Structure 1
Amino acid sequence: MIRETIKSAQVQAMKAGDKDRLAAVRLILAKLKDRDIELRTASSVPDDDTIVVEVLQRMVKQRRESIDMFKSGGREELAAKEQAELDVIESFLPAQMTEEETKAAIESIKAEVGAASVKDMGKVMAVLKERHGSVVDMSKASGLVKAALS
């Protein structure tokens, strides 16, 4: 479903003559094609939306890291270009959970698995990723889980 949305966004960007958005959408489709090729030899393949969300989240993480590096290097024009790509990529991701919703999910998982210390962080993170991986920024969730367990 997300893949079809991305493909239709490509057509709309072509018709509108929006070159920047078209370039970003084509970049997303290229990454998805690469991932599809990787999965050809996999024994079990997750559903399509899961694959798309994983690819998009990886791209978001890369763009955020690039933006930080460009800003620290004084390259604001490159940071702005990356930010524009980031905005397009994020537009295709499902709505992310708020920090309060994430904390509530962490607390319920913590109680469910009986986590009591930071040693149990892996258990909580595994269940969190399994249940909410597509709608939670796992890098932020890691800090929240650590705070909840300490």
Structure 2
Amino acid sequence: MDLRHRIADALKDAMRAKDTERLSTLRLINAAIKDRDIALRGDGNDDGATNDEVLAILGKMVKQRHESAKAYEEGARLELAEKELAEIKIIEDFLPKQLSADETAEAVKAAIAKVGAESIRDMGKVMGELKANYMGRMDFGKVGPMVKDMLG
């Protein structure tokens, strides 16, 4: 079952269960996906967002909420930080299992070997390879510096 259907089913279940917190987060996810679909239609793509694009949207939503929660904690707004963290847990239900640090390092080494990267100039090729195979399973903000270290 593709991601859109899983999200739609979860939305229906949350409505039936009258789980307002989960329902509101699922509606935010749907809105973000629909925004992406509309943007793609403007570019001439009537098929809508692919599963990989939906994973990227979810990953971005998690990252935004981590940043917001951190800002709320620094501002002593703990109830808002807790709300953000609760939303992260709901969004992460739809993301594949995250790779461990060791698994990520192995994936980076394998990608470097596959594309034949030899210097920092090849970083884009390596990142492209990783994004093609591990979208939603690793934090690319942390992977970038790791690739630089291995190539540098």
Q: Same fold (TM over 0.5)?
A: yes
Whole-angstrom CA distance in 2 between matches of 1:146 and 1:79: 33
The alignment status of 1:131 with 2:126, answered yes or no, reads no
Count of aligned pairs = 150
**CA distances 1:82-107 after superposition (whole Å, capped 9, x unpaired):** 11111101111122222211111111
CA pair 29-46 structure 1, distance change in 2 beyond 3 A: closer
The secondary structure found in structure 2 opposite 1:97 is: coil
Whole-angstrom CA distance in 1 between matches of 2:114 and 2:7: 37
Aligned to 2:8: 7
- Greater mean deviation of Cα atoms: 111-120 or 51-60: 111-120
CA drift of 1:47 comes to: 6.0
**CA distances 1:61-97 after superposition (whole Å, capped 9, x unpaired):** 1111111111122211111011111110111112222
2:4 is aligned with what amino acid?
R
The alignment status of 1:31 with 2:39, answered yes or no, reads no
TM score, norm. by length of structure 2: 0.88
Whole-angstrom CA distance in 1 between matches of 2:116 and 2:150: 13
Q: Which runs of 5+ in 1 are unaligned?
A: none
The secondary structure found in structure 1 opposite 2:150 is: helix
Name the % identity.
43
Whole-angstrom CA distance in 1 between matches of 2:90 and 2:97: 14
CA pair 51-114 structure 1, distance change in 2 beyond 3 A: closer
Q: Which runs of 5+ in 2 are unaligned?
A: none
The alignment status of 1:50 with 2:52, answered yes or no, reads yes
Instruction: Give structure 1 regions of 4+ aligned residues with deviation exceeding 4 angstroms.
Output: 43-47
CA drift of 1:46 comes to: 7.3
Aligned to 1:40: 41
The alignment status of 1:60 with 2:62, answered yes or no, reads yes
The secondary structure found in structure 2 opposite 1:100 is: helix
CA drift of 1:123 comes to: 2.4
1:30 is aligned with what amino acid?
A
